[in-house]
Amino acid sequence: MDAIKVLIYIAIFPGFLFQSVFSTYLEWLDRKLYARMQNRLGPLYTGWNGILQPVADILKLFAKEDIVPASADKFMFNLMPVLSLASVFAAGLYLPIWHLTSYNSFEGDLIVVAYLLAIPSFALFLAGWFSVSPFSLIGATRVLTQLFAYEVPFFLALLTPAVMAGSWKIATISSYPWTSGSWWVIPVQLIAFGVALLTLQAKLERVPFDSPEAETEVVGGPLTEYSGKKLGMFRLQKDILLFVGSALVAALFLGGFGGGIILGCIQLVLKTIFVVILLSVVRAACARIRIDQIVTFSWKYLAPASLVQLLIVLLIKGWKGVA
């Protein structure tokens, strides 16, 4: 019985099926909002208001010819899309979107999720590196440079709620306001929430942090040589990363998804959508910044901001005498 339950968890609800379907919905929402903010209509004729547009894109890519360039390293070139897709799926399984906990949560799973969410960036770097084309090489080095810029502020931002709740377990952190009744932690952690949003945007390589795949400079960045189903896998991976990242931020900073299965699911959907809306606003409001500006911005402003937030949290904890 337990085996079947775990299989359902992995294959259907928090796992493969739910993540794929919900993340394509999130991509549609993002594209639609982006279009509306640019005074356009966005996808319109694929399903209801174009809601099936991401599905059509991915299906089409999976049905296309799959080219491996002659100069590319075949093994690594084929491995990277699968690796990045698998790692974001696995990260999604640790989200506490069932009750207040996920079925496989353990002390320290926040670190595991942070690690799993770093793999797609490395996979993207290696994908660009091993497809051996000038554009993809430049894109790949930019991916890595950007990784050094946003990863530390991202981890520092994730550290704040962990220190607040006194645990490395996502389930404990997200249920902290519910169990202790202290909802004031959400406004207190506003700085870390902002830093987490911006670094998540950089992790997703969206405007203003999209210099690794800037079309006007480096064609398609690391994905220049990818076509067919491998490109489709990368696209699906980006959608799921959008979902997992937003859900993680919502779980840590917006009070998690407590209150039983139905209320929990509704909260999951609404809070994730809220985070995606914020990300879309950032995307529509900004222009691309250069790679050196990304590094400067991250280390000059984002990292100190998250340190200040950490200091505030530590002071509050010391003042309340719960540390």
| Residue 311 lies near another protein (rule: CB under 8 A) | no
| Residue 48 lies near another protein (rule: CB under 8 A) | no
- Contact letters (x/-) for another protein, 131-150, by CB under 8 A? ----x---------------
| Cis peptide bond prior to 208, omega within 30° of 0 | yes
Contacts to another protein from residues 63-82, by CB under 8 A: 63-67
Contacts of 34 (CB under 8 A, 6+ apart): 42, 280, 283, 284
Report the residue number, 45 or 319, with the smaller CB distance to another protein.
45
3-state class of 138 per DSSP? Answer: helix
Structural tokens at position 138 = 């430049």
| Residue 15 lies near another protein (rule: CB under 8 A) | no
Q: Which one of residues 7, 11, 60, 183 is an interface residue with another protein (CB under 8 A)?
A: 60
Q: How far, in Å, CA of 110 to CA of 167, rounded? A: 9
Q: Which one of residues 35, 152, 269, 295 is an interface residue with another protein (CB under 8 A)?
A: 35
Report the residue number, 46 or 182, with the smaller CB distance to another protein.
46
Q: How far, in Å, CA of 214 to CA of 222, rounded? A: 10
| Residue 323 lies near another protein (rule: CB under 8 A) | no
Could you give the C-alpha distances from 64 to 21, 58, 166, 236, 267, in angstroms and in order? 21, 10, 50, 15, 38
Report the residue number, 270 or 285, with the smaller CB distance to another protein.
285
Q: How far, in Å, CA of 1 to CA of 298, rounded? A: 48
Q: How far, in Å, CA of 122 to CA of 65, rounded? A: 26
- Tell me how far, at minimum, the Cβ of 294 lies from another protein, in Å: 20
| Residue 41 lies near another protein (rule: CB under 8 A) | yes
Judged by CB under 8 A, how many residues of this single chain contact another protein?
A: 36
**Sole window of 17-25, 47-55, 113-121, 288-296 interacting with another protein (rule: CB under 8 A):** 47-55
Q: Residue 258 — left, alpha, or beta (φ > 0 → left; ψ -120 to 50 → alpha)?
A: beta
Structural tokens at position 226 = 């990818």
Fill in the DSSP letter of residue 98: S
Q: By the 8 A CB rule, do 221 and 212 touch?
A: yes
- Contact letters (x/-) for another protein, 226-265, by CB under 8 A? xxx--x----------------------------------
- Contact letters (x/-) for another protein, 153-192, by CB under 8 A? ----------------------------------------
| Signed CA dihedral, 243, 244, 250, 255: sign only | positive
Position 223, amino acid: L
- Tell me how far, at minimum, the Cβ of 295 lies from another protein, in Å: 24
Binding residues for another protein, per CB under 8 A? Answer: 31, 35, 38-46, 50, 52-53, 55-57, 59-60, 63-67, 135, 215-216, 219-220, 223-228, 231
